Structure 1
Amino acid sequence: MNEHDDNLDVFTTSSLIASEQPLYMCIDLKTFYASVECADRGLNPFTTNLVVADPTRSDNTICLAITPAMKQLGVANRCRINDIPPGISYEVAPPRMKHYMDISARIVDIYLSFVAPVDLYPYSIDECFIYISPYLKLYQVSAIEFAQRLQQAVLMKTHITATVGIGTNLFLAKVALDIRAKHCKNGIGMLNSQLFKKYIWFYTPLTDIWGIGKGTQQHLAKLGIDTLAGVCSMPKNLILKEFGKNGRYLLEHAWGLECMTIPRIKAYTPKVHSITNGQVFMRDYTYQEVFTILHEMTTESSLDLVRQRIYASGVSLNIGFSMHFARIMESNTSGEFKRRIHSFSSKLCVPTNNEQQLYAAFKRLYEAHIPANATIRRVQLNFTGLCLSDTCASALPCCSDSPSELQKLPQTIVDIRKRFGANYLLKATSLRPEANARIRNKQIGGHRA
């Protein structure tokens, strides 16, 4: 019996309609950005060499996507332009993030012509989870047939190919998509508990499996474990001791279990709220130049806090050193700066969204912990312990019923920028050569809009 026969044997129309076991679908748009660019050009992504990247950022820029045709030639996804072998000819398409978001919304609307919003959860710009059990009964089709209907509808209306994972829970659906679908000619992978044990229990590398990163893989390797079957063979108490709370999720997934459902995901409210603002530079920045970036990023984030009427009670600063500086610091006998990424945090005296107070906090962290000869490649600001203005107003002297003109200024800036655009009102700091705000304000997710 081949892999496709396994799918048909376990997921037949009659057995699914009669079964009480829930079924989920994870549907993904294959090499989405590259497929959109090919569709707009009337090209076939399976026969066209095309990369989505911004060539103005230098040959070291990362490709946001490459076509399946280039993958077949051995080019790695998310590679850099200069990593593509010189013998391969290809077309470069500058990213258009706003366009991709519009196409993604159109495709979600296609899904919603088949299912109700309550049963659909967009996981990313190109991936959605769908609870499909009710629709198999409604349309009197098998899981494969229903998946093919969605695939055909997307292809017909957008010329983009979708691949599908189907499973008896969200985790199995995701793993079926990531690992099984690529081996099925119809682009539809399926997993239940039996197929999970057959195909995934002994699958390597573990990092291909949803939720398992390099850190977890390395930790498991130290315990002599390199498969999910190995996790299942270990004493439960040992896994919980080694991995803490994450150990419970690791054990559940190792057995192919998942308690989360789409309604529970939508109803979830995180206990800890934070806002993050980060960027990776296209060159090494000096110690002094980073002050300009800190100022710009704090300004943008403080206005975001004002817009949402929330305050931060803590901040943390992540600094990523350049490769050159990291190699220099490897010889540091104290070992303090042998890692490239460093994080420093601080509690604020009172919750605030005031730009000057927030910048002062980040400036203190930066000056206290970063060597003056450092060269920087990455900066990330985190605003933690967020609270609504109504809940923390009593702790803030600036939150009175009659705010001064100075206190009204941030909201005025927010209103002006909302109406005319973020670059309509900028600080003079953003005119410095090292400043990035004017460029980033024209981007979405750090890429061309």
Structure 2
Amino acid sequence: MGYFDYSREPRSDITFVDMKSFYASVECVERGLHPLKTSLCVMSRADNSNGLILASSPMFKKVFGKNNVSRSYDLPFDIHTRKFNYSVAWKQGLPTTSEFVQYIEEWARITVIVPPRMDLYIEKNMDIQHIFQNYASVEDILPYSIDEGFIDLTSSLNYFVPDKTISRKDKLDMISARIQRDIYRKTGIYSTVGMSNSNPLLAKLALDNEAKKTSNMRANWSYEDVESKVWAIPQMTDFWGIGSRMEKRLNKLGITTIKELANFNPDILKKELGVVGVDLFFHANGIDESNVHKPYKPKLHGLGNSQVLPRDYDKQADIELVLREMAEQVAIRLRRAHKKCCTVSIFVGYSKFEMKRPIQAQMKIEPTNNTRVLTDHVLSLFRKKYESGAVRNIAVSYANFVDESIQLISLFDDIEHIEKEERLQTAIDTIRNQFGFTMIQKANSLQEASRSIVRSKLIGGHSAGGLDGLK
């Protein structure tokens, strides 16, 4: 069994629950539609040609072959007329026979396109978290995302299933089935469950590689299944932590399967890939030291904000207005973290019609979290690089942090002015924290190009109440 004696490894009874097409399922249930049989997609900014598909039902994915985070102009039909889009079909190599065109248009006519409602999704997520808490303490629950979560049921199995003749594996399956049932009864949403009587990693792998294909949408992978299941994962990119770039690096070492990774020399992996290579070696052997009760908290390496503009911005003044707003918003987050930054970066992506490379620039600065100073640096970077063209994507980020107590002062600085500016900045932050970001706004936020007021009403970057899409 490879390098490891699994009898010496710690064991926990873990269930990993994933809501099936969560956003789309919530929207289907709210409309009295079947989540698995309805063609529905959640689309941000569906009123223009650049709508972003945030989520889609299983039927939508099956019919149109589109995953989440794609654009409305990539669909084989026009979202307004619901007619077949021949230009997209030709670009994507889709058939244009009368039968296929009719098939697409029939489904397009009954496809439901809805705007996101983040407040509703958060409300449903809270309902689901309360269900989890019926089976485990808060300390035993680790939300992985808004639609996924780990539950450590180690201390709960015998309480809910006291029969000593039933194995821990069967008890875990029984409780997981109850959780699925309770979620469906409460929310109408179907869920998929990966289980493991070993560790969280194997529960996640069970969900991704088997549970989604079973009739009851559950699967259990434990140490005993490493050789028969983990090593048999067909595509390396189906393994947690391996993307296309990592796959290429592993291929250069002669590693083309998970089994080969699990039996490779870990010293070579560390030399070629660093600590990540060693982690992948252990994971390929089913070893995972993560703890649901003590989740890893990454160090703060950078703070940033990005957005896709609702239309092409072709006036430099309008672009700079949005950059100013984003520079201020990230500066506020920097002060909340009690940090100052030493690096400022921007990204400006052009409209797809411009055929220009995006602007990427950064500069080293003296430590600061002052909004005015940071805004000046952001605009300076932009003005040095930008000449002309319509812009659609913008990002601002700050990095290389130091403690906010650090202050570099030169002989030419006006100390009194600096202190006055900091007091004003602190007062504004205090008011915004207590009464909301929009309580104090600059006059230019009333301009048409401004995004600050609109974005202050968003949750997770999307509409809270679904007012931005097709009705």
TM-score, normalised to structure 1, is 0.82
Structure 1 counterpart of 2:65: 75
Structure 1: any 5+ residue segments left out of the alignment? 1-18, 330-339
Structure 2 counterpart of 1:442: 457
SS at the partner of 1:407?
Answer: helix
Q: State yes or no: 1:290 paired with 2:319.
A: yes
Offset at 1:270?
Answer: 3.4
Task: After superposition, give the CA deviation of every residue in 1:360-398 in whole Å (9 maximum; x if it has no partner).
Answer: 222333344x35246543332222233454xx2555799
Q: Could you tell me which of 330, 346, 352 is aligned with 2:368?
A: 352
Asked whether the 8 Å contact 2:230–2:284 carries over to 1, the reply is no
Q: State yes or no: 1:317 paired with 2:346.
A: yes
Task: Map 1:7-18; keep pairs closer than 5 Å.
Answer: none
Structure 1 counterpart of 2:134: 113
Tell me: higher relative CO, structure 1 or 2? Use CA pairs within 8 A at least 6 residues apart: 2
Q: State yes or no: 1:53 paired with 2:43.
A: yes
Task: Map 1:396-411; keep pairs closer than 5 Å.
Answer: 404-411=419-426
Task: Map 1:371-390; keep pairs closer than 5 Å.
Answer: 371-373=386-388, 375-389=390-404
Asked whether the 8 Å contact 1:53–1:94 carries over to 2, the reply is yes
- Label 1:208 to 1:378 Cα distance change in 2 as closer, same or farther (>3 A): farther
Task: After superposition, give the CA deviation of every residue in 1:332-373 in whole Å (9 maximum; x if it has no partner).
Answer: xxxxxxxx5x65433331x321111112222333344x3524
Q: Could you tell me which of 179, 186, 209 is aligned with 1:150?
A: 179
Task: After superposition, give the CA deviation of every residue in 1:167-191 in whole Å (9 maximum; x if it has no partner).
Answer: 2211111111112111111111211
SS at the partner of 1:417?
Answer: helix
Offset at 1:58?
Answer: 1.8
Residue-pair matches, total: 413
Name the aligned partner's letter for residue 293 of structure 1: V
SS at the partner of 2:156?
Answer: helix
Deviates more, 1:103-112 or 1:278-287: 278-287
Offset at 1:199?
Answer: 2.9
Structure 2 counterpart of 1:66: 56
- Label 1:401 to 1:170 Cα distance change in 2 as closer, same or farther (>3 A): farther
Name the aligned partner's letter for residue 32 of structure 2: G
Asked whether the 8 Å contact 1:23–1:133 carries over to 2, the reply is yes
SS at the partner of 1:386?
Answer: strand
Offset at 1:37?
Answer: 1.1
Deviates more, 1:288-297 or 1:173-182: 288-297
Deviates more, 1:280-289 or 1:71-80: 280-289
Offset at 1:328?
Answer: 5.0
Q: Could you tell me which of 202, 211, 227 is aligned with 1:197?
A: 227
TM-score, normalised to structure 2, is 0.79
Asked whether the 8 Å contact 1:315–1:348 carries over to 2, the reply is yes
Task: After superposition, give the CA deviation of every residue in 1:275-330 in whole Å (9 maximum; x if it has no partner).
Answer: 221112344444824322221101112223334443323333334454455x555x
- Label 1:303 to 1:284 Cα distance change in 2 as closer, same or farther (>3 A): same
Structure 2: any 5+ residue segments left out of the alignment? 1-8, 78-104, 162-169, 465-471
Name the aligned partner's letter for residue 156 of structure 2: Y
Structure 2 counterpart of 1:336: none
Asked whether the 8 Å contact 1:272–1:385 carries over to 2, the reply is no
- Label 1:401 to 1:291 Cα distance change in 2 as closer, same or farther (>3 A): closer
Name the aligned partner's letter for residue 160 of structure 1: I
Name the aligned partner's letter for residue 413 of structure 1: I
In structure 1, C-alpha distance between the alignment counterparts of 2:310 and 2:263, rounded to whole Å: 46
Task: Map 1:69-148; keep pairs closer than 5 Å.
Answer: 69-78=59-68, 79-86=70-77, 87=105, 88=107, 89-140=110-161, 142-148=171-177
In structure 1, C-alpha distance between the alignment counterparts of 2:232 and 2:349, rounded to whole Å: 36
Task: Map 1:175-254; keep pairs closer than 5 Å.
Answer: 175-254=205-284
In structure 1, C-alpha distance between the alignment counterparts of 2:396 and 2:252, rounded to whole Å: 33
- Label 1:57 to 1:256 Cα distance change in 2 as closer, same or farther (>3 A): farther
In structure 1, C-alpha distance between the alignment counterparts of 2:453 and 2:262, rounded to whole Å: 52
SS at the partner of 2:195?
Answer: strand
Q: Could you tell me which of 4, 22, 30 is aligned with 2:20?
A: 30
Name the aligned partner's letter for residue 380 of structure 2: R
Q: Give the percent of matched residue pairs that are identical in Structure 1 and Structure 2.
A: 31
Q: State yes or no: 1:426 paired with 2:456.
A: no
Structure 2 counterpart of 1:332: none
Structure 2 counterpart of 1:270: 298
Please tell me the root mean square deviation across aligned C-alpha atoms, in Å: 3.0
Deviates more, 1:434-443 or 1:268-277: 268-277
In structure 1, C-alpha distance between the alignment counterparts of 2:214 and 2:158, rounded to whole Å: 25
Offset at 1:255?
Answer: 1.7
- Label 1:228 to 1:319 Cα distance change in 2 as closer, same or farther (>3 A): farther
